[in-house]
């Protein structure tokens, strides 16, 4: 069994920290240093981190897959749409080094709400009930990879999240 499976929680947290670190570095390089990062105490509203920069606040649900993964879709909590400028960032990473990129993005322009999830498929639990049936998860929707916008660089995902950087402070 690979360490990616055995230590999946560790890896998830590590990738989150690496992503936030890269965003902070981008803010630094733009001579802005205005990126703020917060975490929810409870994970029940569909987002993992809150990011604010250039006057835009983002509630971000993070997803991750290793480069070359055949994962075709991700599950998104409907409550994310209740947040102003909610979005999903799907981070691809290199399996051995954990280098980040490319990035996939599902969300509106900065300041705009999450695009409608109406018509998207209701997700099902991964494990079946005792009858063998997989129950639906009414508050979770499945988004196909093709519904995301791809960015090869951190600069691209940073701009998708916060818009073009204003002049340095």
pLDDT per 10-residue tile (average), the chain, 169 residues: 77 96 96 95 92 96 95 95 95 96 97 90 85 87 96 97 85
Q: Residues 6 or more apart from 85 whose CB is under 8 A from it?
A: 56, 57, 58, 59, 107, 108, 110, 111, 112, 113, 114
Q: What is the pLDDT of residue 44?
A: 87
Domains of the chain, first to last: 3-162 (3.40.1350)
Rounded to two decimals, what is the model's pTM?
0.92
Q: What is the pLDDT of residue 4?
A: 67
Q: What is the pLDDT of residue 129?
A: 85
What one-character DSSP code corresponds to residue 110?
A: T
Q: How is the beta sheet containing 36-38 ordered, strand by strand?
A: 36-38, 49-53, 56-66, 87-93, 100-107, 149-151
């Amino acid at each position: 069994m690979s360490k990616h499976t055995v230590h999946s929680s560790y890896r998830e947290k590590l990738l989150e920290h690496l992503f936030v670190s890269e965003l902070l570095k981008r803010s630094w390089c733009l001579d802005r240093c205005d990126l703020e990062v917060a975490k929810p105490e409870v994970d029940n509203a569909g987002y993992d981190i809150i990011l604010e920069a250039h006057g835009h606040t983002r509630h971000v649900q993070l997803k991750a897959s290793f480069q070359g993964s055949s994962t075709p879709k991700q599950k998104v909590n409907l409550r994310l749409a209740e947040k102003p400028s909610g979005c999903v960032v799907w981070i691809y990473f290199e399996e051995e080094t954990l280098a980040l990129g490319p990035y996939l993005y599902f969300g509106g322009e900065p300041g705009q709400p999450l695009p409608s999830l109406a018509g998207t498929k209701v997700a099902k639990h991964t494990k079946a009930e005792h009858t063998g049936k997989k129950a639906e998860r009414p508050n979770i929707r499945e988004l196909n990879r093709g519904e995301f916008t791809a960015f090869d660089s951190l600069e691209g995902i940073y701009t998708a999240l916060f818009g073009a950087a204003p002049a340095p402070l």
